[in-house]
């Protein structure tokens, strides 16, 4: 764990196709890596991250633009995905008019139905880079939970992970919430909405829930007959490419 980004983690060790584990040190997921400490910098150097997939909106990235990775020569992709609860837009307008727990849950369900299509361009780049023998890749957004959560869930699906395994990794974010991040969210959301949020609304906005990710997969089931159809149609994941990324990221049988 990074001190500056408590949701930073290696996908290594997660189980993919036919019980093979993801090889460590190849794909990482995280919240935004802002103002890393000296210890953080030392650890990140060991990770040798060479490609950074930034799923934040352009307004979010403008405030903190991945200076550490830029200074260390990583290739940066800023995808301008604005479907996270921290991205500005109509979500906040709806929340300001009604921040009840049920409204918040409904809004988040709607967001999660939109995230797969929003992150598809990033996934296509990730698949292409892995197939071509990319250096270690980092996928991140602001909190590393919504946009990153769905993108990584789809990558794990492509690697043959079970839904139970995918959900377990997604829900791990809940264990990485810190008091500092909760306090920051409380203050930020209260300022935007104009009043303190109901505790359950705050909990929904700050964390992850099983039903959130299920919305993404249910949407793909309805629109594309499943995640496989979605990844092939929208992220260029042909059978040949799927086999290639499994060879690249999974341990041998």
User: Which pLDDT score is estimated for 2?
Assistant: 92
Reference 89, options 57, 63, 66, 61; nearest CA is 57
Q: What is the pTM of this model?
A: 0.93
Reference 111, options 97, 98, 92; nearest CA is 92
Q: How far apart are CA 156 and CA 163, in angstroms?
A: 9
Strands, sheet with 51-54, edge to edge from the N-terminal-most edge strand: 9-10, 27-30, 137-140, 51-54, 75-78
Q: For strands 137-140 and 27-30, give the pairing.
A: parallel
Instruction: Give CA angle at 54 (52, 57), nearest 5°.
Output: 165
User: Which pLDDT score is estimated for 116?
Assistant: 97
Q: How far apart are CA 104 and CA 194, in angstroms?
A: 15
Beta bridge partners of 65: none
User: Which pLDDT score is estimated for 85?
Assistant: 47
Which tens digits make up the pLDDT trace of 195-230?
A: 788 889 888 988 999 999 999 999 999 999 999 999
Instruction: Retrieve residue 235's tokens.
Output: 């992220």
Residue 116 near residue 147 (C-beta atoms within 8 A): no
Burial class (CB in 10 A: 0-12, 13-18, 19+), 186: middle
Distance set, CA 53 to CA 9, 28, 80, 96, 111 (Å): 15, 10, 10, 31, 20
Residue 58 near residue 47 (C-beta atoms within 8 A): no
Low-confidence ranges of the chain (pLDDT < 70): 83-90
Using DSSP, state whether 98 is helix, strand or coil.
coil
């Amino acid at each position: 764990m990074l001190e500056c980004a408590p949701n930073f983690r290696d996908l290594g060790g997660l189980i993919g196709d036919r019980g093979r584990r993801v090889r460590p040190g190849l794909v990482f997921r995280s919240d935004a890596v802002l103002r890393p400490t000296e210890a953080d910098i030392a650890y990140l150097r060991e990770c040798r991250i060479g490609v950074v997939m930034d799923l934040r909106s352009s307004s979010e990235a403008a405030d903190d633009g991945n200076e550490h990775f830029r200074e260390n020569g990583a290739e940066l992709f800023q995808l301008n995905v604005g479907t996270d609860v921290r991205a500005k837009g109509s979500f906040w307008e709806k929340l300001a008019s009604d921040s009840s727990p049920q409204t918040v849950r409904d809004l988040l369900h709607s967001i999660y139905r939109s995230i797969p299509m929003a992150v598809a361009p990033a996934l296509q780049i990730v698949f292409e880079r892995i197939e071509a023998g990319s250096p270690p890749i980092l996928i991140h957004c602001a909190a590393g939970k919504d946009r990153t959560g769905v993108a990584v869930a789809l990558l794990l699906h492509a690697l043959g992970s079970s839904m139970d395994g995918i959900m377990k990794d997604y829900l791990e974010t809940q264990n990485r919430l810190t008091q500092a991040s909760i306090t920051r969210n409380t203050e930020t959301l209260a300022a935007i909405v104009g009043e303190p949020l109901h505790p359950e609304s705050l909990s929904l906005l700050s964390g992850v829930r099983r039903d959130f990710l299920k919305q993404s997969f249910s949407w793909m089931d309805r629109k594309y007959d499943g995640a496989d159809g979605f990844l092939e149609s929208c992220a260029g994941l042909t059978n040949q490419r799927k086999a290639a990324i499994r060879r690249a990221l999974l341990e041998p049988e």
